[in-house]
């Protein structure tokens, strides 16, 4: 019961942070002379509307796919108490592996696609092991090592695309387009919503099962929440950290792979677009819970989509406002200690009110019987 209460309280705090971010953003909109309520309506319709040739909501779901996966990747690190921010590098190497194998292998698609998936997961997972090894073996701060690894991945991407993987002498360096038989299908053309999204949702449920229903997940939670208890309970913490970092890195590598096979169908300079860092935001706002990651990823993708399709096109408000809104939400999450006590008091009063209401209702039913 206590754990459920803590979970509900965290959800309530996250909702409060989102609402505060929205309020602050619309105060900025009000300074431009545009009605915040109108802007909010336009933002929602641009993010979750169903009209048009391609539904904005389906586009939002498609754009949420890499956010879900990079959010899950960051979540695994948080679960073992490792604040790893190397998802960007893992994502990049997963994408590079997919683009390279997609050109080099000449196998039947039903064999080649799984091979590309496995190779991209392995590439991301091995890259995820590096900050884990540096932390548990040498005590290197994972934030510093992650930043360096992300820079290395970005530079490696620029070199590989400009030289070994380059397909032509065009102005922009890019690899050859993959054979269409390797492309992951989209359910609605132009929406990016397709098989990749189904795989991401599947991983959300598998992550939930792994974390809360398996011995490996129990070890992971104990290492993250009670390291001393885990140590004296015989759990080999270093092994658990490394295993978890490999899993998280593999998921980030898979995100890069599915962006290549399901969306871009080639890799180019500038491919690294900050999705790995966005995954950190998703994991933080989602409370390091798989279902929280899913909901927040869709929300953040919707905010960006609504800012571009709604605010910029219809109201001439720069789409960068979407980024400002996300930044404000993260700011209020980071400063939650300021308002958490007040939010928890309100939550307790609301929860106790409905609990008493339910109890009285049950009592009345029993008296009638």
| Region 355-366 average pLDDT | 65
Taking residues 181-208, report their average pLDDT: 92
Of 359 and 128, the one with more pLDDT: 128
303 alpha carbon, distance to own chain's centre: 14
What is the per-residue pLDDT for 16?
A: 80
Distance CA 172, CA 264 (A): 15
The pLDDT, as a whole number, for residue 9 is 63
Structure confidence by residue, pLDDT tens digits, 74-128: 999 999 988 888 899 999 999 999 999 999 988 999 999 999 999 999 999 999 9
| pLDDT on residue 23 | 83
Mean pLDDT computed over 278-303: 88
Whole-number pLDDT of residue 353: 73
Do 190 and 54 touch, CB atoms closer than 8 A? Answer: yes
Q: How many residues does the chain have?
A: 369
Percentage of the chain lying above the pLDDT 70 cut? 93
Domain ranges of the chain: 51-285
pLDDT at 368 over 80: no
CB 128 within 8 A of CB 249: yes
> Tokens in use for 139?
């005590």
Task: Give whichever of 49-63, 169-183, 211-225, 310-324 has the largest mean pLDDT.
Answer: 211-225
């Amino acid at each position: 019961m206590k754990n459920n209460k803590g979970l509900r309280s965290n959800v309530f705090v996250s909702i409060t942070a989102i609402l505060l971010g929205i309020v602050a953003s619309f105060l900025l909109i009000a300074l431009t002379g545009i009605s915040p309520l109108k802007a909010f309506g336009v933002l929602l319709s641009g993010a979750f509307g169903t009209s048009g040739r391609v539904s904005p909501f389906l586009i939002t779901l498609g754009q949420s796919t890499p956010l879900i996966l990079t959010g899950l990747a960051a979540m695994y690190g948080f679960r073992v108490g490792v604040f790893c921010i190397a998802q960007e590098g893992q994502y990049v190497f997963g994408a590079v592996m997919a683009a390279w194998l997609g050109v080099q292998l000449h196998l039947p698609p039903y064999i080649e696609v799984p091979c590309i998936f496995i190779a991209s997961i392995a590439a991301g997972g091995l890259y995820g092991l590096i900050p884990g090894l540096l932390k548990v073996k040498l005590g290197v701060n994972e934030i510093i090592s992650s930043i360096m690894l992300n820079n290395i991945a970005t530079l490696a991407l620029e070199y590989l695309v400009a030289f070994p993987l380059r397909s032509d002498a065009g102005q922009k360096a890019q690899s050859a387009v993959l054979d269409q038989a390797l492309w992951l299908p989209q359910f609605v053309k132009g929406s990016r919503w397709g098989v990749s999204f189904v795989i991401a949702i599947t991983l959300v449920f598998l992550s939930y099962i792994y974390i809360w229903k398996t011995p490996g997940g129990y070890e992971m939670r104990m290492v993250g929440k009670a390291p001393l208890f885990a140590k004296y309970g015989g759990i080999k913490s270093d092994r658990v950290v490394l295993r978890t970092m490999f899993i998280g890195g593999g998921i980030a590598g898979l995100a890069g792979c599915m962006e290549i096979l399901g969306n871009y169908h080639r890799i180019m300079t500038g491919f690294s677009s900050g999705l790995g860092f966005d995954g950190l935001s998703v994991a933080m706002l989602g409370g390091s819970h798989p279902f929280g990651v899913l909901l927040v990823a869709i929300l953040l993708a919707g905010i960006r989509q609504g800012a571009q399709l709604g605010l910029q096109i219809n109201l001439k408000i720069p789409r960068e406002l979407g980024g400002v809104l996300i930044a404000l939400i993260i700011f209020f999450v980071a400063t939650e200690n300021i308002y958490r006590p007040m939010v928890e008091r309100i939550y307790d009063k609301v929860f106790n009110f409905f609990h008493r209401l339910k109890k009285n209702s049950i009592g009345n039913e029993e008296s009638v019987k």
